Amino acid sequence: MNTSDYNQPLYCATISYTLNLLIVIIALVGVAGNAIVLWLLGFHMRRNAFSVYILNLAGADFLFLFFQTLYSLDKILHHFHISITGVTMYLIMVLNCAYLASLSMLSAISTERCLSALWPIWYRCQRPRHTSAVMCALLWALSLTLGLLEGKSCSAFFNDLVLAWCRKLDFITFAWLIVLFVVLSGSSLALIIRVFCGSHRIPVTRLYVTIALTVLAFLLFGLSYGIYWFHLGWIDEIHSGFPCSAFEISALLSCVNSCANPIIYFLVGSIRHHRFQRQTLKVLLQRAMQDTPEKEGGERSSSGQETVLCSS
């Protein structure tokens, strides 16, 4: 065995320690940002169909970042030979639940926006009033169920007699991950085509920009966690072929995604006619979810928006 084989564990341990430190720093920033969004949307702003989803997305991101911080701190302590037994598995369970919930909310946001753009009359007149709240409750329930009963956590709740059912739950979980990704990609693509192509183009509003940037951030950073989770659950044989600290890398990228979402909201809200304007965070968040185009003078415009009268 050569010298590099002896140095490999030390190298991996150093990389893991460094990545976990970065995760803690980024996650704490994201926890603060998502907490502000939760506070503003939960207690200081009137909610509409899309702000309900944004509120729940911020809640899922907050949970993911908070428990990822605890997980990384546990790994940092382990680097100094300080271990908290029995905690790691439960932290992973919550992380998986939060990740599923975050992806579910983002897919629901993109799908709702796609429906409102493709069939505006149906959306405004026939859509049930409490659809957003009901969908969020169902998505949370499904995410908690699949996240808690996935993989090793399933065997922790049940004995060996039902491990076959745990494997079936694994299949359902990963199938749901694929469905969410396909729905997110398909609805986002349809929305882009509807906005930029065709004879009847839709005016670009701040809400469109907010959703587009949030989806882009997930595809660039958040998707890696799901890919690692899928490979770890179904292709165990290749785990030895993963680079060391593969989980930390995917978790770091996912933390960047969850941390970026509040920044996107406030950034979109602060830009006005290609200039940054200093306003309160509440005003910036309200602007980020504004669904009407603006004239050059700054006031809202009704041009390009369909006026729909719904008969009772």
Nearest to 74 by CA among 94, 100, 98: 94
Note the pLDDT of residue 202: 77
Query: Does residue 42 sit within a domain?
Result: yes
Give ∠ CA 41-43-45 in degrees, rounded to 5. Answer: 50
What is the rounded CA–CA span in Å between residue 49 and residue 135? Answer: 11
55 within a domain of the structure (yes/no): yes
Query: What's the pLDDT score for residue 85?
Result: 60
Q: Is residue 293 part of a domain?
A: no
Domain assignment present for residue 300? The answer is no
Indicate whether 129 belongs to any domain.
Answer: yes
Do 63 and 69 touch, CB atoms closer than 8 A? Answer: no
Tokens at 254, concatenated: 């996912």
301 domain residue, yes or no: no
Domain assignment of residue 55, given as a range: 3-288
Contact between 183 and 115 under an 8 Å Cβ cutoff? The reply is no
* pLDDT given for residue 133 in this prediction: 93
User: What are the structure tokens assigned to 28, written together?
Assistant: 């704490």
Cα 230 from Cα 107, distance rounded (Å): 18
Block means of pLDDT (10 residues each) for the chain, 312 residues, are 57 88 97 97 87 96 97 88 74 92 96 88 83 95 87 59 68 89 94 78 85 95 88 56 79 97 94 68 90 62 48 52
CATH number at residue 121: 1.20.1070.10
3-state SS string for the chain: CCHHHHHHHHHHHHHHHHHHHHHHHHHHHHHHHHHHHHHHHHHCCCCCHHHHHHHHHHHHHHHHHHHHHHHHHHHHHHHCCCCCCCCHHHHHHHHHHHHHHHHHHHHHHHHHHHHHHHCHHHHHHHCCCCHHHHHHHHHHHHHHHHHHCCCHHHHHHCCHHHHHHHHHHHHHHHHHHHHHHHHHHHHHHHHHHHHHCCCCCCCCCHHHHHHHHHHHHHHHHHHHHHHHHHHHHHCHHHHHHCCCCHHHHHHHHHHHHHHHHHHHHHHHHHEECCEECCCCHHHHHHHHCCCCCECCCCCECCCCCCCCCCCC
pTM of the model as a whole: 0.87
Identify the pLDDT of residue 186. Answer: 94
What are the residues whose beta carbons fall under 8 Å from the beta carbon of 37, sequence distance 6 or more?
54, 55, 58, 261, 262, 265, 285
Number of domains in the chain: 1
304 within a domain of the structure (yes/no): no
The answer to the question of residue 209 being in a domain is: yes
Distance of alpha carbon 240 from alpha carbon 71, whole angstroms? 22
Integer angstrom CA distances of residue 245 from 11, 74, 117, 159: 10, 15, 42, 31
